[in-house]
Structure 1
Amino acid sequence: METTQFPLIISVDDHTVEPATVWQDRLPRKYLDEGPRIVRAPVKEMTFLGGRFRPVMGEPGSTDGPLGDWWVYGDLRRPLTRLDTAVGYDREEVKLEVITYEQMRPGSYDVTARLADMDVNHVQSAVCFPTFPRFCGQTFSEAADRDLALLCVRAYNDWMMEEWCGREAQGRLIPLPLIPLWDAGLAAAEVRRNAARGARAVAFSEIPPHLGLPSIHGDDWDPFLAACDETGTVVAMHIGSSSRMPSTSADAPPAVGSTITFANCCFSMVDWLMSGKFERFPNLKVMYAEGQIGWIPYILERADVVWEENRGWGGVADKVTRPPSETFAGHVFGCFFDDAFGLKSLDSIGVGNVLYETDYPHSDSTWPKSREVGVAQMGHLPADVVERIVRGNAIDLLGLTPDGLWKAAT
């Protein structure tokens, strides 16, 4: 396949760095001093070991250390870092360091600049996961004041639907709302509120118990799942959305976790396939952002063996009525940006279960060469298969127009 023939990309995993005023513009006045806000301050200490990110903020106004912009919310102090927005920098320049908004590429937070960077990268449309709320909004589920947290979730979703994905985005940015994770009934209401505005995906945790939340094996999440089933809302799970990146020890360097980032997706997919939820909610679909796809065939093979051979004691015979690999085909979608091995295994995964992404503006992003990377990995595939992977499957899954754009409900 020639580079000029490669289809326009629909990326199902990009990211937004929220502008500093998202919550200050939308929260009631009485919460402005408590809600999320940006403070410029130095960093005293910052580590990322064993899959844990630990920053310590210095005194605002002090110059005792590198200055950065920090989100302040309750007891939380979370800096913007170069890992949040690394595009435009050489790999060796991408380090764990605090930054300010002025030090990041404007496309990270500005709609017009984002569209321009998408044009450079041959990207037509993109789903964007959050940064400060973390990948499924767990920042708010950990907050002490749940009334304020709910307002923060709704404020983020209003910003996402009305501004980030608003008229200026021309249908090229696809909304991904959050839910109040601590209450499945409230979550269901938020799914329906945003589905009525045209949203067809919602962020969720890959492994909720890591957040102190119920697993999907019980009935706790059923109101939320029923809302997704009824509205055709896809449950989108990003690596790290359980606030615990895979690692092996407390002192393991980030390279260990970065190599095995798919692991939580693997565990999560087995959870879902063995939960019986797809039988109970037949329209339910889930997707794994940045999980890659090369690991999927063996897990499906093993899950089928366990389902068949361990029926007497496996604990799922009464609720999982088909081989897990058959259930996978209609309900689970893997997302990748750089997985040549996985593409060699398409027959075992299913062409219809694979989605493409660019991960802008993170350090793993293939920007500005996502088309060239795609050609190098998929050039050997038939043109119709490439079309499905790069855009067709996303159009169908996310309810986009035939031209690949998102349209708000009227």
Structure 2
Amino acid sequence: MVDSAQRRETQEITIHTDSREILANARRDIERYGLDDYFIVDVDSHHVELDSWPQIIERIEDPVLRDSGLQMIKNWPNAKNVALSNHPPGLTMQDVSGRVLHQATLAEPVPDSDLHRDVTLVRRAMDSMGIDVQVVFPQPMLEIGLHPNPNVATELMMAYNRWFTETILPRDERIKTMLGLPFENPDASLRTIREYSDHPGVIGFLVTSQRFTGVHRNEYMKVYAALEERGMPIGFHAGPNQADSMTSTMNKFLSAHAISFVTCNMTHLTNWVINGIPERFPNLRTIWIESGLAWIPFMMQRLDHEYLMRQSDAPLLTKLPSDYMREMYYTSQPIEITDMGLLESTFKAMDAEHTLMYSSDWPHWDFDVPGRIMSIPFLSEQGKRNILGETARKVFNL
């Protein structure tokens, strides 16, 4: 129970604070908005996989690399939770000099049981926010596409997938995932789809967007064909990067966070549309995750403008780029809500009542609860229901 936490005027949030305390206001929203009457799917949430890193390293298929990782964990004092990974140090700036600590690790007390603690933590978040289905992703693994060694990146992603599908997914049918593709290796990506597409907890597959890879390259066509054949969506999950040619000039985390979460998906979407991937795979459902919404009308206008001047550069297209964009899907977090007029125009441009899906991004420092959607004044009742869960029900065949 969190009654005592709700009565306190001020709550100190640390790495040990109970999730149910942090989400006390979200629990009140359930009654305030009647959320029990809504089917709610959280399309983007996270757990801290580095807390279980030794168990993930043990599932590396390559025996030499697996032993190397285990030796790092054993012999290097600081390597227990980062061995072989490329965990970017810039992400530690998210705690705002120690003022937002819950993001750093989820160290809240969890009773001893046969359940992995991450299952308990996910359940606490779901129950507090009134969520029926929660799609769970890793955290630092979202930057795996920037790993300096593609072979190591592939092995780590596949080891994580083994661990997650064995340890977390079977314990609660409400927990789902879009399983990460080892995108550095198209053959390994295809193997991943074939191996896990029938797993009841896997409802799609994911490309971590921070990577310097052309998603239109021919070697990926077999990956997209396999997904379309199985009726499973592909998602592109954005992430931060403070070390590329643009963001490395920025001296504030705020600046890099604002830009890098958007530009990676802008790049992939541009290659996706202009190279005619939606024409080649018209039944492949595509989702753009954690880039907010403000970039979408900009990209629609910009790509339409350029296309109308140089249609010969995009010979596969049969309609405007913006028309393809309105046939794809987007997640709500972080929803830019500082100008309600601009937000309403954005919703209209992207047909949000049919293309937008709610996401919390919990437990990240900038998460959004379902009440965020319910508080948008211009949404219709059916639009709210669609965004909170009905569109996701269709996209993921729930």
For 2:370 and 2:105, the matched residues in 1 are separated by 30
1:64 is aligned to none
For 2:384 and 2:102, the matched residues in 1 are separated by 35
Equivalence map 1:10-409=2 (5 Å)? 10-18=41-49, 19-27=52-60, 32-35=66-69, 39=73, 60=77, 70-73=81-84, 93-94=99-100, 102=107, 110-135=118-143, 137-138=144-145, 142-143=148-149, 146=151, 150-166=154-170, 168-169=171-172, 171-198=173-200, 199-206=202-209, 208=211, 210=212, 213=213, 215-240=214-239, 247-260=246-259, 261-312=261-312, 315-316=313-314, 318-340=315-337, 341-350=342-351, 351-366=353-368, 370-376=369-375, 378-400=376-398
For 2:44 and 2:245, the matched residues in 1 are separated by 19
Aligned-residue RMSD, C-alpha: 3.7
The offset of 1:276, in angstroms, is 0.7
2:15 is aligned to none
Quick one: which amino acid aligns to residue 349 of structure 1?
A: M
Q: Secondary structure at the match of 2:370?
A: helix
Whether the aligned pair in 1 keeps the contact of 2:43 and 2:331 (CA below 8 Å) is no
- Give the TM-score taking structure 2 as reference length: 0.75
Deviations 1:259-288 (A, max 9, x none): 333233233322211111111111122212
Quick one: which amino acid aligns to residue 291 of structure 2?
A: G
For 2:241 and 2:89, the matched residues in 1 are separated by 19
Q: Secondary structure at the match of 1:70?
A: coil
For 1:333 and 1:38, the matched residues in 2 are separated by 39
1:134 and 1:218, CA in 2 relative to 1: closer, same or farther beyond 3 A? closer
Structure 1 range deviating more: 112-121 or 259-268: 259-268
1:26 and 1:389, CA in 2 relative to 1: closer, same or farther beyond 3 A? same
The offset of 1:9, in angstroms, is 3.0
1:132 and 1:393, CA in 2 relative to 1: closer, same or farther beyond 3 A? same
Whether the aligned pair in 1 keeps the contact of 2:43 and 2:135 (CA below 8 Å) is yes
For 1:201 and 1:134, the matched residues in 2 are separated by 16
For 2:71 and 2:136, the matched residues in 1 are separated by 21
Identical-pair percentage? 19
Q: Secondary structure at the match of 2:235?
A: strand
1:105 and 1:11, CA in 2 relative to 1: closer, same or farther beyond 3 A? farther
1:103 and 1:280, CA in 2 relative to 1: closer, same or farther beyond 3 A? same
Q: Secondary structure at the match of 1:217?
A: coil
Whether the aligned pair in 1 keeps the contact of 2:39 and 2:390 (CA below 8 Å) is no
For 2:364 and 2:254, the matched residues in 1 are separated by 15
Q: Secondary structure at the match of 2:311?
A: coil
The offset of 1:121, in angstroms, is 2.0
Quick one: which amino acid aligns to residue 386 of structure 1?
A: K
Q: Say which structure is richer in strand.
A: 1
Q: Secondary structure at the match of 1:388?
A: helix
1:359 and 1:149, CA in 2 relative to 1: closer, same or farther beyond 3 A? closer
The offset of 1:290, in angstroms, is 1.1
Whether the aligned pair in 1 keeps the contact of 2:231 and 2:284 (CA below 8 Å) is yes
The offset of 1:244, in angstroms, is 5.7
1:207 and 1:286, CA in 2 relative to 1: closer, same or farther beyond 3 A? farther
Task: State the aligned residue count.
Answer: 354
The offset of 1:357, in angstroms, is 0.8
Quick one: which amino acid aligns to residue 220 of structure 1?
A: E
Whether the aligned pair in 2 keeps the contact of 1:165 and 1:174 (CA below 8 Å) is yes
Q: Secondary structure at the match of 1:297?
A: helix
Deviations 1:114-159 (A, max 9, x none): 2012211222222222224335x436x6437x3x665543332222
For 1:333 and 1:22, the matched residues in 2 are separated by 33
1:405 is aligned to none
1:385 and 1:128, CA in 2 relative to 1: closer, same or farther beyond 3 A? same
For 1:337 and 1:120, the matched residues in 2 are separated by 19
Q: Secondary structure at the match of 2:67?
A: coil
Q: Secondary structure at the match of 1:193?
A: helix
The offset of 1:109, in angstroms, is 5.6
- Give the TM-score taking structure 1 as reference length: 0.73
1:320 and 1:337, CA in 2 relative to 1: closer, same or farther beyond 3 A? same
Structure 1 range deviating more: 252-261 or 199-208: 199-208
